[in-house]
Structure 1
Amino acid sequence: MKQVVPSTEYIYNVTDDGRSFVVCLKNKTCSCGRFQYEEIPCEHAWAVLKRKSLVADGYCSDLYKPKTILKIYEIPIYPLPDVAEWVIPEYIMYDEVRPPKFKRPPRRPKNKPRSKTKRELLGLKGKHTCSTCGVVGHNRRSCRNRPQEV
């Protein structure tokens, strides 16, 4: 059972099996990603549309609507004749198709080395700073300025 909680007029929080999803009807998005990818309402958007008693037609892409599908089939598609009846131009008929000039090696390509930073190229190294006293040149373990334990 999906629980739908409105945040604003267009944004809703849908809880499904302990997971929470954010649905925005204005932008046609859902945090699950399916609403944007498929361009039709996902199950979380359907729950919101059902709760608000809205028709899903306005939230589907035009690609899925019957008018678009009928337009696809308006252009007639003619079957190809038998291979013997094909008309091939002479300049194509006698063209010689050759294999590529370079052959790819059989193994995986080597990784390119990463580019070094300007600091690495100049050979600059970081200076050690003591976290106890803040003096450069040593660390906390070798600090002579730390308080003595009694």
Structure 2
Amino acid sequence: MKQVVPSTEYIYNVTDDGRSFVVCLKNKTCSCGRFQYEEIPCEHAWAVLKRKSLVADGYCSDLYKPKTVLKIYEIPIYPLPDVAEWVIPEYIMYDEVRPPKFKRPQGRPKNKPRSKTKRELLGLKGKHTCSTCGVAGHNRRSCRNRPQEV
């Protein structure tokens, strides 16, 4: 069950399964990102529209409306005829197609060097501390204070 809480006239806070989403009807946005990406109301925006008893048509992109879909199919698309029926101009028919002049170099492409962190740029290095004695500057393997094995 989605709980819808209005923040302002256009902004709503929708709680869904313990997660909170912010829906803005004016900008047609939701913090989940689907409302902006798909340009149709996401489930959180639907909950707000249902609570306010609004029609979703004003919040959908024109691409999804029946008028636009019908316009797409107004212009007929004819399939290509058989290869034997193709009419190819003579100046194209005898053109010689050559491969590109650029050749890819052999081997695996080189990686770009990674950018250094602020700590690396300043020359700061971390101090190693021994897990046995807790003294900085060495590790457990080179510790002189470790207990002797018998």
Which bracket does the TM-score occupy, shorter chain normalised? 0.7 to 0.9
Q: CA deviation at 1:85?
A: 0.3
The structure-2 alpha-carbon separation of the partners of 1:4 and 1:147, relative to structure 1 and needing over 3 Å to count, comes to farther
Using the size of structure 2 for normalisation, the TM-score is: 0.72
CA distance in 2, matches of 1:148, 1:10: 72
1:13 alignment partner, SS class: strand
> Could you say what the CA RMSD is over the residues aligned between the two structures, in angstroms?
6.2
Query: In the TM superposition, what whole-angstrom CA distance separates every residue of 1:106-150 from its partner, at most 9, and x where no partner exists?
Result: 433223457999999999999999999999999999999999999
Name the residue aligned to 2:145. Answer: 145
Equivalenced residue count is 150
Using the size of structure 1 for normalisation, the TM-score is: 0.72
CA distance in 2, matches of 1:132, 1:25: 60
The structure-2 alpha-carbon separation of the partners of 1:143 and 1:27, relative to structure 1 and needing over 3 Å to count, comes to farther
Q: Which runs of 4+ in 1 moved over 3 A?
A: 111-150
2:126 alignment partner, SS class: coil
Name the residue aligned to 2:61. Answer: 61
For structure 2, the residue ranges without an aligned partner over 5 or more in a row are none
The structure-2 alpha-carbon separation of the partners of 1:143 and 1:9, relative to structure 1 and needing over 3 Å to count, comes to farther
The structure-2 alpha-carbon separation of the partners of 1:126 and 1:91, relative to structure 1 and needing over 3 Å to count, comes to same
